[in-house]
Amino acid sequence: MSAGSPRNPQRFSNLVARWCGLALFLALWETSTRLGWFSSTYLSPPSVVFQALVSLLWRGELGRHFLISLRRVLIGLSLSVVVGVTFGLFIGYFKTVERYLDLLFQAFRQMSAFALFPVFILLFGLGELSKALIIFWASLWPVLLNTCDGVKHIDKVLIQSAQSMGASRTFIFGRIILPAVAPEIFTGIRLGGSYCVMAVVAAEMIGASSGLGYLIMYSQETFNIAEMYAGIISLAILGMGLNFVLRTAGNFFSAWKEE
């Protein structure tokens, strides 16, 4: 069906092109610092960053910070999936409710999670709760609004046909509405996931003592520049990994939407 064969020449050349771009960038970075175009005090060459990465990993520090950040992301994201999907389905199903809430939600969506962080600190202190909330807020809106939009655009005749067969409400919800909206829900979750990774850094840079955001900030303050870059790269890996998992899960539920 799709171009899934690894021997497919088009796909192979795409793969080469992708890695070429990255390799070229690393080579440029390495030479520019080696040749002294940039001071290595501010920009460590990738080889040194890689050594720092390995040493952080070896000492167990990187793993610890990585897992803590990952845990925070997953807690915040799960919370917004539960709340966002539930309310999104509800609001999308009842058009009148949506009319009352639409403007409010548009306003909330524009309200940056970073701007609200001081509010959360004020209300809930510097602990895990505030961190969970900022990540939750950042990812809630794309999940909620995408779900809501998906429900609004379900083909009504699918629901009617199940009704005419005598289906119960539970059946219609579980077997018609949910699978029909699944692609939109996953688009929302993927978007929310990338917002989560951004938000976790902000949360860990203020009043935290663990996590990748903290590692980056701490390394900068102690002038351990190579470890700072190692932290940044780990963060990118975290984001890409999460995106990959969510995309794979999403493809599974929305394969029928293609073509």
Partner 1 sequence: MLKVEARQVERNFSIRNSLGRKVKLTVLDHFDLDIREGEFLSILGPSGCGKSTFLNILAGLDDYDRGEILVDQKPLQKRSFDRGMVFQGYALLPWRTVLGNLELGLEIRRVPKRERRAIASHYLELVGLTRFANQYPSQLSGGMRQRVAIARVLAYRPNLLLMDEPFGALDAQTRENLQIELLRIWEADKKTILFITHSIDEAIILSDRVAIMTARQGQIKEITEIDLPRPRTEEVRNSAEFAQIRQKVWILLRDEALKAESCYAGGI
- Footprint on this chain of partner 1 (rule: CB under 8 A): 155, 157-158, 160-168, 171, 175-176, 179-180, 256-257, 259
Nearer to partner 1, 220 or 254 (CB): 254
Q: How far is the CB of 179 from partner 1 (least distance, A)?
A: 5
Nearer to partner 1, 194 or 254 (CB): 254
Q: Are 218 and 231 in contact (CB under 8 A)?
A: no
Nearer to partner 1, 43 or 158 (CB): 158
Nearer to partner 1, 221 or 259 (CB): 259
Q: How far is the CB of 142 from partner 1 (least distance, A)?
A: 23
Cα–Cα distance list, 50 to 25, 121, 231 (Å) = 15, 35, 11
Nearer to partner 1, 7 or 169 (CB): 169
**Which residue has 């203020």 as its token pair?**
206
Q: How far is the CB of 181 from partner 1 (least distance, A)?
A: 11
Q: How far is the CB of 258 from partner 1 (least distance, A)?
A: 9
Q: How far is the CB of 137 from partner 1 (least distance, A)?
A: 32
